[in-house]
Amino acid sequence: MIQTGIDSEIAAEYAQNLADKGITFMGVDVFDPTMLLMLVLRFAANLLVCWIVIQFFYYKKSHRKDYYFTFMLFSVSIFLLLFILQNLSMEFGFALGLFCIFGMIRYRTETVQIREMTYLFVIIAISAVNGLSMDVDYTTLLSANLLFVLIIWMLESNKILRHTSNKIILYEKIALITPDKREELLTDLKKRTGLDIIRIEVGHIDFLRDVAYVKVYYNSGSDEINTIDNITKFS
């Protein structure tokens, strides 16, 4: 005897399974509200933390819009890269993620100052932490981001580390570079540069041209970073 009736419990369970699975196309979910919400929230939080670090710590002293642009896009790129790749196998996703990170660091056409490289690494680290910490509780994740901001604030503050600027000068009064005339050299450099020089180092000496490289350390009276202090060029 053929049963024509439909068991209501089985039908309800089947409908619930379809609802849980959602709409798929070629085996992939078309829409996953949980994953989308997690992406939006974590992306916004990561972008906020990186913006705070860049705007209030880096840009406040350097005023470099080009690196501001670079750091923000690095943050977005690294976060999205690692967030999407975490669904792959751990070995493959982690290896590909590291390859992309270090590949982007290596891909540059000019020498990047150590301060910019440090901030670049920090931005990458923040984005990697936020992008890969799917199984970490929100309190721990928030604490990690706050620690990033707190440590950077402490190190950038003049209350802990006082910034001393330095400059390389091509100096022509070669008679004053001897140790016994260090005070005369210091006085002459202060008068001619107008800088509050606190220390001097004598470097390369060219007796054929009667010049020497002198590195001076001085209090600039400003927190801004001079990016061309150590650039020299022969005439």
The model's pLDDT over 39-70, given as tens digits with 9 standing for 90+, comes to: 888 899 999 999 999 999 888 878 888 888 88
**Residue 62 included in any domain:** yes
- Based on the fold, state whether residues 39 and 139 are members of the same structural domain: yes
d(CA 65, CA 87) in angstroms, rounded, equals: 35
Q: Residues with Cβ < 8 Å from 173, sequence gap 6 or more?
A: 185, 188
**Residue 2 included in any domain:** no
- Based on the fold, state whether residues 69 and 104 are members of the same structural domain: yes
**Residue 4 included in any domain:** no
- Based on the fold, state whether residues 141 and 25 are members of the same structural domain: yes
Give the count of domains, the chain.
Answer: 2
Burial 43-74 (b: 16+ CB within 10 A, else e): bebbbebbeebbeebbbeebebeebbebbbeb
Q: What percent of the chain has pLDDT over 70?
A: 66
**Residue 233 included in any domain:** no
**Residue 38 included in any domain:** yes
Domain that holds residue 203: 165-219
d(CA 130, CA 134) in angstroms, rounded, equals: 8
**Residue 1 included in any domain:** no
Do residues 216 and 169 lie in contact, with contact meaning Cβ atoms separated by under 8 Å? yes
- Based on the fold, state whether residues 50 and 120 are members of the same structural domain: yes
Confidence band of 110 (pLDDT split at 50, 70, 90): low
- Based on the fold, state whether residues 187 and 71 are members of the same structural domain: no
